[in-house]
Amino acid sequence: MFSRRAALMESSPARLATLVLLLLVIVTAAGCAAVGGIFKAGLWVGLIVAVLVIAVVFFLVRSFSR
C-alpha cells in the first residue's frame, strides 16, 4: 500500500533539483538587475560598489581563515 506521500517522497531528488535550479535562476536574475541598476547610476558608482564588495569579501575570508 503506497500512499500519495510515499510517491512524493520517492521523487524528492528530482523535485530538489528543480527547486535548486529555480533558486539559481532567481538569484542570477536578481543579480543581473542589481548590476544593471548600479551601472545605470554611472560607471564610477559601479566601480566603487564593486571595489567595496571585493574588499568586504576579502575581509570576511581573511577573518574566517584565522
Does the pLDDT value for residue 23 go beyond 70? Answer: yes
Q: State the cell numbers at 41.
A: 547610476
- Of 24 and 4, the structure prediction assigns the larger pLDDT to 24
- Of 33 and 4, the structure prediction assigns the larger pLDDT to 33
In what helix (H) or strand (E) does residue 2 lie, and over which residues does it extend? none
pLDDT value at position 54?
A: 93
Answering whether pTM is above 0.95, one says no
Q: Give the Cα separation of 39 and 33 in Å (integer).
A: 10
pLDDT in tens, 26-48: 877 777 777 777 677 788 887 88
